[in-house]
Amino acid sequence: MPTRFVCLAAVLSLFLFQAGGHAAKLPSHETVKVAEGMYAFISAESNNAIVSGNSVAVIGDDGVLVVDSGNFPSETRKIIAEIRLLTSLPVRYLVHTHWHRDHTDGDSEYRAAFPDVVIISTPYTRKMITDRAMKNLEEEIKMGPEYASYLRKQAQDGKDGSGKVLSAEEKSYNNDFAESLDAAVAEFKQVKLLLPDETFDQNLDVHLGKREVQLKFLGRGNTGGDAVIYVPDAKVVMAGDLLVYPTPYVFDSYFADWIQTLGKLKAIGATTIVPGHGPVQHNNDYVDLVSSLLQTFNSQVQQAVRQNLSLDETRKKVDVASLEKQFAGDNPNRRRNFEAYFLGMAFERAYKEAKGTLDTP
């Protein structure tokens, strides 16, 4: 793959995700009532390479709080229309779990629909929207069409960038990816990223009349500024990308902290968990599975560092087969996802963290 496309793929990997099947250009959503006055808009598992994060509406006595705004303005507008059917109350607050654009690209749609909405995040998330997200948006709009053309050419030629012959499934995947990427870039051209109006360091309680919503920073994990949102009267927690189904994202992650943060998430005592991607969870089984993955992987990398192994030697030493089987099963696209977006990122992050050389914005 040409160098410029390697760079683009790294940028896209913050917002693009591979999963099973082939079909729609962009993922739609399913609306799930998770408690009285609480609705989760669950983005469909992507059928090629494009995702949007889950969103949640919390309806109180005098207003609505929304968690995350999604990746595609057209889909955000549909969610806003649904919220208006659910209640005549205005959206007063929009809270970001983290800075990745598949959770923030719909902000301007909420501001247009509800001019007085207050956008809230951790300070880290606000900083990263300024430092990284705005630049990434420009890069994707500029380079996305080139990458789509590159994928189509691979499918047409029947070979990947290394010359490996593509199977019929891989050629179909490339064409679907390119088509979805075209649709995504058209959406990205509508995006106007907004900076949060308010930030909180550790805890912030928001009151929607009698309904209390607790905003918490439990520690670093998926990013350096993950927020979780807890509604005590319903025992529902929104975890953001501290939990992603079917495979954790590790683009900007802190492995040791993440394990501890998941422990704090469990300690909240929620009976319902809405992850950043994937279906609503009604127990801690998936929290435990992700925690086990992070612990098993990180401990092996730390051992390799203690043995003074290089990064390449560490990649060969760490046993990942059983881990991949747990998350990907026999699904070829889930395996592709696990290898690209967990293993492809995790080795370098965990290795640098173990050596104390990880850059922290």
For 142, counting Cβ atoms within 10 Å of its Cβ (0-12 exposed, 13-18 middle, 19+ buried), the class is exposed
Residue 51 is predicted with a pLDDT of 84
Contact 237, 270 (CB under 8 A): yes
pLDDT at 283 over 80: yes
pLDDT at 6 over 60: no
pLDDT band at 8 (very low <50, low <70, confident <90, very high): very low
Q: What distances in angstroms separate CA 14 from CA 100, 249, 261, one per listed residue?
A: 7, 8, 21
Q: CA 44 to CA 124: how far, in whole Å? A: 28
pLDDT band at 88 (very low <50, low <70, confident <90, very high): very high
Residue 47 is predicted with a pLDDT of 65
pLDDT band at 335 (very low <50, low <70, confident <90, very high): confident
Q: CA 327 to CA 338: how far, in whole Å? A: 8
Question: Strands 198-199, 118-121: parallel, antiparallel or unpaired by DSSP?
Answer: parallel
pLDDT band at 215 (very low <50, low <70, confident <90, very high): very high
Q: Which of 31, 62, 119, 67 is nearest to 230 (CA)?
A: 67
Question: Strands 91-95, 64-67: parallel, antiparallel or unpaired by DSSP?
Answer: parallel
Residue 33 is predicted with a pLDDT of 98
Contact 206, 213 (CB under 8 A): yes
Q: Which of 226, 6, 4 is nearest to 95 (CA)?
A: 226
Residue 56 is predicted with a pLDDT of 98
Model pTM above 0.85: yes
For range 47-63, the mean pLDDT = 89
pLDDT tens-digit profile of 158-192?
998 888 998 998 888 888 889 888 999 999 999 99
Task: Report the mean per-residue pLDDT for the chain.
Answer: 90
Residue 165 is predicted with a pLDDT of 93
- The one-character DSSP state at 223 is S
Residue 49 is predicted with a pLDDT of 63
pLDDT tens-digit profile of 271-282?
999 999 999 999
pLDDT at 64 over 80: yes
Give me Rg for the CA atoms of the chain. 20
Percent of the chain residues past pLDDT 70, beyond the cut: 93
Residue 334 is predicted with a pLDDT of 86
Q: Looking at this protein, which amino acid is placed at residue 129?
A: I
Percent of the chain residues past pLDDT 90, beyond the cut: 72
pLDDT tens-digit profile of 21-35?
333 488 789 999 999
